[in-house]
Every structure is written in C-alpha cells, then in structure tokens.
Amino acid sequence: MAQPAETGRGKKDQIPQFVTDLLQTRESKERPFEGKVAFITGGNREIGGGITLLFALHGSSVVVMHRDGGKEQRSQPIFDAVQSCNVTSEFLVGDITNPADRASAAKTIETSFGGQLDFLVLNASGPTRETNVTGNNELVTALLPYMKKGSKIILMQSTPGHFSQSTQYTGIMPEGYGDVANAKYEGEQSLLARREELETLGITLIIATPPLAPETANARMFTHKDGTFREKNKALSATYGLPETVSIQEIGEKVVELATRDLPFGYVELFGSVYDARSALRSTHEDNDILVETIIDHGPVSDTQDANLWEGRYLVAPQDCQEGDRLSDKQLKEAAAQTLEAIAYYKGIPPASLNDLEYPEEPIRPGDILSILTLTEKDQNGTAAEVLIGKKPGLTKTASMILLQ
C-alpha cells in the first residue's frame, strides 16, 4: 500500500481541526457505504481530504490520487485518520494529466478493489484546460469500465468557475482567477456533454459548487494576492444569493449526502437554500437563452407553511440587452417566466404561462442584478404566485397573480 512517510509534527503538518472534529463523530456515523469504493483526486488534504475522510467514516473504501509526492507529510493527517476508520485504502502519487498515472489508477481499482468503483470524485483542479478538461475526461474514460449502473461522478466546481460566463465583465472575479474560472467552466461543460454516453451506462454526474472555504490555502493565497478579494467574494455571493463561506467539514458532509441521493444527471449543488436555475431550465431552453441563474428558497412566510417566498436571480450581461443599453420588456417577462418554470421544477408541480406583467419604470442595464421575487401560495384551485420584479437593491413594480396548478 502506498502511503505517506512518517514525519514529525511541525507547524505545517499539524492535524487540521476539521480532521479532529470529524474523528470525534466517528461512533455516531452510520456506514451506508459499506462495500462501496470511492476514488478521490486531490483527496489527501483540505477539501479533498475532508471528502476522503467522510467517505471512509461512512464505510467506503477509498482510493486517493494526489501530486504531493515530495511532501508526504501533507497527506499524513488524512492517511492516519482514514486508517482509523477500518476501511481499505490506497494513497497513490500521480497526476490525472499523465497517461501512465491514469493507467496506474485503473490497475489499482482492478487488482486491489476487485474492479469495482462506485464513486469518482473529481476534486483536483488546476489553472489550465489540460487539467480541468483533458485530465478529468481522460480519467473518467480510464475508470469508466469499473463503474456500473448506479455509480456517481461528482465534480467539485468553484463558484467563480460555475458562474464565470456572467461574472467575467463585472469586476468581481478575484484577481488572477479569471483563466482558472474559465478552464473550470469549460471542464464542467465538457463533462455535461457526455450525458448520453454516461446515462446509457446508468452513471450520474453531480456538480458540487461550494462557496469559499476560508481555511484552505487557495483562499489565503487569493486574499494575499488581491486586497479586494473578500469584498469580491461577498459581492459574488450577494449577486446569486449564495452563502459567503462554508467549512471543509460542511463540504465533505454535503458531498457524502449527494452521493446517497437519487439525483438527475447534471444536478448542481449550490449550498444553502439556493438552486441552480440552469439545471432546471436546460431541458426546455438553449443555454444561450437561459436568463435566470439561481433560484433562492426563502422559506415559508406564514405559520401555515402554505405560502413560500422564492426568488430568481439574474446578472444582466451586455449581450442580453436588445434595446440599446437596457433589458427589454420582452426579456423581463422571459426572466419572470423562467423563474416560475424553475420554481415549478423544484416544487414538483406543472408550470403555467405567465399573465400580464408590470415592468419596472427604472431601466435594467448591464451589471444590474435582476430579482424576481415570487410568493407562491396554495388555495383550493392549486398554487398561485405573485411576482415582484426589479433590480436589487430596491425592487420596483409588481405583477399579477399567476396560476401554477
């Protein structure tokens, strides 16, 4: 078994707090993944390490591939923690962009784990297309023969990467991260493009897109490189209604939860009570025609819990403005209609057409955050919705009642 070297505990390789916290919950953890095998790239530390440890705590055997060949001490805390979970594990030094390393990974699955792979977590990423597109896809191809019906591929995406197409002109992209975000977005799209192939095999792709994890080296690096990084992260989160930060432990717990759920291909987890509108709308709209990007569930607004407040969020791009420098009434109506369609999708009810809509008097221009607040309420005829549309902050104008069914 490949494993990290024994080292002394210095400041740089002390046991991370999330490892200590997770191990304290070991006795209370159910083990639904007994007999399962998970392969995690970059799974030896930080976010990847948290995911690895959570799979092990839930009973799964784990295979980790990482590039820290000369820095074994960085893997030691996760290796030791996994060893204490009474599961089979392998820690492989390798690079997903290297054909020989991918072949070695496949051989390990075949010889040490009986040719079985239930979960493939694509956590390793890099600044270039080579890793995010070529490396991930080639690794999927190499390991696909060992994945049976019901297996899951989980892609770890970044918030700037997932939303890179709308944020690239706004000035809220962290300095130096633009190329990485574009490469990660392209990698996500390249895996989504394999839908027919993977669905034929009964394999589901899930995309986990956590907010910033402040305890990671990347967060510290970008904070150091860009003095406005925290403000940009706050603005990015506010734009789409996302939580500002999340912990490594929370990310790991969420990934394990996603692995247990029966989710549609391409499901995107945005954390908190925020849903990916594009996932809901992609079956009925071309990507270029989708306006609304997130759907926020603000929860019940009364004790009866029959009334719920939802919100669609849309960052207006220059290419969306068909009437000079402002969004047209036609597109405002389309954004509201898409919000209702996405809400209906996530509520599991049939969508309906949008009635007359009163448009904001103030022009909606590029860079504005369009908000479509929607109050849904059950009555004897089904579920009705009232829409308030405008830009944040300071919404303007309301729409009429719309019957959803």
Mind listing the pLDDT tens digit for each residue in 132-181? Answer: 999 999 999 999 999 999 999 999 999 999 999 888 878 888 888 889 99
Mind listing the pLDDT tens digit for each residue in 324-376? Answer: 788 888 888 899 999 999 998 998 877 766 777 777 878 888 889 999 988 88
Give the per-residue pLDDT at 8: 40
Give the per-residue pLDDT at 219: 87
11-272 CATH = 3.40.50.720
Can you list the residues of the chain whose pLDDT is less than 50?
1, 5-11, 400-405
Whether domain 286-403 has CATH 3.40.50.10860: the reply is no
State the Cα–Cα distance between residues 229 and 120, nearest whole angstrom: 31
Report DSSP state, residue 358. P
Give the per-residue pLDDT at 226: 86
CB 360 within 8 A of CB 390: yes
Where exactly are the structural domains of the chain? 11-272, 286-403
User: Which is nearest to 33 in space by CA: 50, 53, 16, 13?
Assistant: 53
User: Are 11-272 and 286-403 equal in CATH topology?
Assistant: no
Give the per-residue pLDDT at 10: 42
SS3 340: helix
Give the per-residue pLDDT at 4: 54
